[in-house]
Amino acid sequence: MTAPLDVDGTAAPPRANGELVFSAPWESRAFGMAVTLYEAGAFTWPQFQAALIARIAAWENAPDQNRPWSYYHHWLAALEDVLDEQGTISCDEVATRALTLAQRPAGHDHHH
Amino acid sequence: MTTSSESGEAPSAALRTEALEQLLTERGLIDSEIVDAFITNYETNVGPLNGAKVVAKAWTDPEYRRRLLADGTSAIKELGFGGPQGEHIVVVENTPTTHNVVVCTLCSCYPWPVLGLPPGWYKDPVYRARVVKEPRTVLSEMGLDLGDDVHITVRDSTSEVRWLVLPERPAGTEHLTEEELVPLVTRDAMVGVAKAAAA
């Protein structure tokens, strides 16, 4: 990495140009998990890409066009699809665990 | 930080994400510290400044420009920029008569090592659908009016080809050094929805 140039125009790093990369913490976790698993060789990028394309296409082809667009919902669903398809972690397991987490007493819902 | 447990779809996605991370961690498939490191890197280090350095070098070094147009990925790697979504980067040059603009019609393919993660509008279904059908109108709405004599080519990125635009060097910048040119190169110019402008 070269020494940082003193640049504060629109070419500055993501935080500095007024555009947040992630709009909620879970989006960054979903992003980070996919990249970590890909780098560890858990799946190829085209595999993940295909799952992401399928999720986005399903949303775009659905008749109800009034649902809000959330890119990272599709990203997360694609990650779950790939892991489910491989038999690594099933979507049911994720749903069951999420339900357990939802039933935690208040004050325990922070990620650590 | 407040939790969003009472608003719409967000809690289920947040909870599913947390559930998935727990399961992956328990099985030894991920280490949360490594996940943290990737997130921090994309939030703070990897951004369009990398691409701006590539473009400024191409503007000032004809031999580098030739290598960049011949093999984007390896010329970009020369400057130390690589990693996920850095494979198969193809660089196309904008000229006074030819304008390239980049989209990913199917999802969000984007050359992360040089531009960081894509902005919201790039991933938006509206941009992805419309820029293909009516590029001149979309570009005009985004503030870039191109004359009728300028030929527009829409480049559709995929996991096999990720496009990066080499913008035109602005007129009146002949006296500037490579370092002085870097701040003139914007993310939007490298996606092809804007031009680089003299400061």
Q: What confidence tens digit (pLDDT) does each residue in B164-191 have?
A: 999 999 999 999 999 999 999 999 999 9
Report how far residue B170's alpha carbon sits from residue B56's, in angstroms, rounded to the nearest whole number.
11
**Residue A18 in this model has a pLDDT that exceeds 60:** no
pLDDT of residue A66: 74
Cβ neighbours of B52 in A, within 8 Å: 7, 11
Residues B29 and B63 in one domain: no
What is the percent of chain B with per-residue pLDDT over 70, rounded to a whole number?
Answer: 94
Residues B143 and B119 in one domain: yes
CATH number at residue B167: 3.90.330.10
Residues B57 and B134 in one domain: yes
Residue B65 lies in a domain: yes
DSSP symbol at A42: S
Q: Which residue of A has its CA nearest to B24?
A: A89
**Partner residue opposite B186 with nearest CB, options A11, A30, A39:** A11
**Are the C-beta atoms of residues B64 and A61 closer than 8 Å to each other?**
no
Residue B103 lies in a domain: yes
Report how far residue B158's alpha carbon sits from residue B170's, in angstroms, rounded to the nearest whole number.
29
pLDDT of residue B44: 84
For residue B167, give the nearest of B113, B109, B115 by alpha carbon: B115
Residue B165 sits in which domain range? 48-191
Report how far residue B117's alpha carbon sits from residue B115's, in angstroms, rounded to the nearest whole number.
7
B101 membership: H or E segment, kind and range: strand B98-103
- Both tokens assigned to B62: 């004809």
Residues B15 and B82 in one domain: no
Residue B4 lies in a domain: no
| Shortest distance, CA B38 to any CA of chain A (angstroms) | 6
Instruction: Average the pLDDT over each of A10-19, A36-45, B24-33, B81-90 and give the range with the smallest value.
Output: A10-19
Q: What confidence tens digit (pLDDT) does each residue in B81-136 have?
A: 998 888 899 999 999 999 999 999 999 999 999 999 999 899 999 999 999 999 99
Residue B119 lies in a domain: yes
Q: Do B43 and A14 touch (CB under 8 A)?
A: yes
Q: Please report which confidence band the pLDDT of residue B9 belongs to, taking 50, 70 and 90 as the band edges.
A: very low
Residue B198 lies in a domain: no
Q: Which residues contact A32 (CB under 8 A, 6 or more apart)?
A: B35, B36, B38, B39
For residue B187, give the nearest of B167, B161, B169, B159 by alpha carbon: B167
**Residue A60 in this model has a pLDDT that exceeds 50:** yes
Cβ neighbours of A10 in B, within 8 Å: 48, 186-188
Number of domain units in chain B: 2
Asked whether the ipTM of the predicted complex exceeds the cut of 0.85, the reply is no
**Residue B7 in this model has a pLDDT that exceeds 70:** no
Which residues of B are catalytically annotated? 104, 107-109
pLDDT of residue A7: 41
Cβ neighbours of B24 in A, within 8 Å: 33, 37, 89
